[in-house]
Amino acid sequence: MRVTFVPDPEADDALERAELLLTLRKRGIRDPLLMRAFEQVPRERFVDPACRSLAWVDQALPISCGQTISQPAVVALMTEALDLKPSHSVLEIGTGSGYHAAILGQIAERVVTLERFRTLAQAAAERLRRLGYTNIEVVVADGSAGYAPRAPYDRIIITAAVNEVPPALFDQLRQGGVLVAPVGPPQDTQMLTRFALTADGIVKREMVPVRFVPLLKGVAQVL
């Protein structure tokens, strides 16, 4: 279910929210469905309580397990590159806080999101459930293998750095589908890259340099 939140215009973060939306516009984000999703998803509910005052600032913030909630402008850029339609089924690798999954869930029909830390996955699932997202499924799994039970997907997004896209993910992408990922060395900057699966093969387009935490192997043994 897509969710409608009515932010209180008197709330003390109303100005910051409006400023963030303006920042996204200035950065060239035009898709009205995407702008609406940013208006609707309460980012303050996804950040660590200690960072609440920074929830609507355009920056990445730390979350538990040494991970990060991505910068809103990067979430916007990646989502716009997906060309997401309301009929789409989406796979996200790297649930983290669940924020990007919520943005995807505002637009798409169904979202499956995979996370290797059980703690993060459980917290994100609980948060999304409380906010009313019934179309987002959080699964504890190593995202490198994708998630075959719901494949194929119209869109796949990796929100952790990869040296190369795990081949299993292309196998789970529908013909005509799009995959977006930060590709490059995990300890350095990566290139946000868009892959379109066409009848003639994979068409690759490099976008902008970004910095993500690495995609790690296996499900975490602790936490």
Closest distance to ligand SAH from the beta carbon of 186 (Å): 10
Q: Whose Cβ is closer to ligand SAH: residue 164's or residue 200's?
A: 164
Q: Is 142 in the site for ligand SAH (CB under 6 A)?
A: yes
Closest distance to ligand SAH from the beta carbon of 10 (Å): 28
Binders in 158-217 for ligand SAH, by CB under 6 A: 159-160, 213, 215-216
Question: What CA–CA distances, in Å, run from 109 to 133, 196, 216?
Answer: 11, 20, 28
Q: Cα 202 to the chain's mean position, in Å?
A: 22
Burial grade of 142 (CB within 10 A; 0-12, 13-18, 19 or more)? middle
70 is catalytic: yes
Whether 89 and 147 have beta carbons less than 8 Å apart is answered as no
Q: If phi over 0 gives left and psi between -120 and 50 gives alpha, with beta otherwise, what is residue 207?
A: alpha
Q: Is 34 in the site for ligand SAH (CB under 6 A)?
A: no
Q: What x/- string results for residues 89 through 108 when contact with ligand SAH is judged by CB under 6 A?
A: ----xx-xx-xx--------
Q: Per DSSP, what are the bridge partners of residue 158?
A: 93
Question: What CA–CA distances, in Å, run from 186 to 73, 77, 123?
Answer: 20, 20, 25
Closest distance to ligand SAH from the beta carbon of 159 (Å): 4
Candidates 24-32, 47-55, 141-149, 177-185: pick the segment binding ligand SAH (CB under 6 A).
141-149
- Of 70, 89, 135, 172, the one binding ligand SAH (CB under 6 A) is 70
- Catalytically active residues are 70
